[in-house]
Amino acid sequence: MNNYVIYQAYGKEEILYEAIYSILHLLNIHKFNLTFKIIIVTDNVAYFENFLEPSDLYIYEAIAPEKIKLWRGAIDFVHRVKIEVLQFVTSKYSGNFLYADTDIFFLQPINELFDKITNGIPIMCFKEWSIQDGPNVLYKRLNKFIKSDKNTSAIKPSTIMYNAGILGFNSSFTPQLENVKKLTDSLHPLHPIFIIEQLAFSYYLQKQGGVYETEKTYTFHYWNFKEFREALASIFEYHKEPKKVIEQMLKLNVQEMREPKRIYEALPSWQRKWMRLVNKKWQMPAFEK
């Protein structure tokens, strides 16, 4: 079966920076042992072609901004676009699919992930919590909604939520994408939070079987480290030569650069408050532009 890694990257340049960074590091760790092609769904093909060498490895699917707006649906939900992107791609190609958010940093070759997908094992980034056990306000409010009469879906408080930064499935799952979209469209108007699409994917992929988690072993998802975009932007804006941009980007390790923030966030709240008062908050590690 054919193997595909899928990215959606449109709109702001900072998203394009992340996508190029993710792709370059994915290829760098694989060297020449590639068992997949990369499908890039974007409204700016020329931008990618400027930084990625011409190769049949890349499949560009050009999407107009008007189409992206349409894909947000009547609920005008940005993460609904992900579902439409996957429906669009899987309608044109068949095989094994591994979708990655642009803020995914790959840690090791992913050939074995495609072996799992071939065998029908669903893949997501990592397990968060069951809805009823989620410790933060977002989950507590979601749990209250799920237990209410407003929820007429099959989602229960015991339903497990997985992070959807990575989604792995084969063509046999493709028909379920329509159900993922319908569930998203029905729940979001009633409880409009940014993880509703993630909940829909979690529900339907779990129905396929035990979900395999990629985080820490294969991936590092830096969704809560938006400051890294500033580092990427400084490189893109400082250098005009694509080869130099690529050279400098490959020197950056986002997992290592996030460590000071991770240590800071692990401190007791009183200590973090005191550090802010004395202007000793964590700092981004120095890097070469």
pLDDT in tens, 105-161: 999 999 999 999 999 999 999 999 999 999 999 999 999 999 999 999 999 999 999
Q: Where are the alpha helices (DSSP H) in 147-241?
A: 176-187, 196-206, 228-238
Same domain assignment for residues 143 and 245: no
Domain presence at residue 286: no
Same domain assignment for residues 180 and 259: no
Same domain assignment for residues 92 and 146: yes
Residue pLDDT, tens place only, 22-62:
999 999 999 878 999 999 999 999 999 999 999 999 999 99
Domain presence at residue 285: no
Burial (CB count <10 Å: 0-12, 13-18, 19+), residue 186: middle
Domain presence at residue 288: no
Chain mean pLDDT for the chain: 96
Domain presence at residue 284: no
Q: What is the CA radius of gyration of the chain?
A: 20
For residue 245, what pLDDT is reported? 94
Q: Return the axis-axis angle of helices 228-238 and 242-249, rounded to nearest 10°.
A: 150
For residue 280, what pLDDT is reported? 85
* The domain boundary residue, chosen from 205, 221, 237: 221
Residue pLDDT, tens place only, 182-219:
999 999 999 999 999 999 999 999 999 999 999 999 99
CB 102 within 8 A of CB 25: no
Q: Which two tokens stand for residue 197?
A: 């699409």
For residue 281, what pLDDT is reported? 85
Run of H or E residues at 89? helix 80-92
Run of H or E residues at 133? none
CA distance 191 to 143: 11
CB 20 within 8 A of CB 250: no
The CATH number of the domain holding residue 41 is 3.90.550.10
Run of H or E residues at 220? strand 219-221
- Give the domain range for residue 84: 3-221
For residue 3, what pLDDT is reported? 98
Q: Which two tokens stand for residue 107?
A: 């840690």
CA distance 207 to 204: 5
For residue 1, what pLDDT is reported? 79
Is residue 100's pLDDT more than 90? yes
CB 283 within 8 A of CB 263: no
CA distance 89 to 92: 5
Same domain assignment for residues 70 and 168: yes
* The domain boundary residue, chosen from 177, 197, 221: 221
Is residue 235's pLDDT more than 90? yes
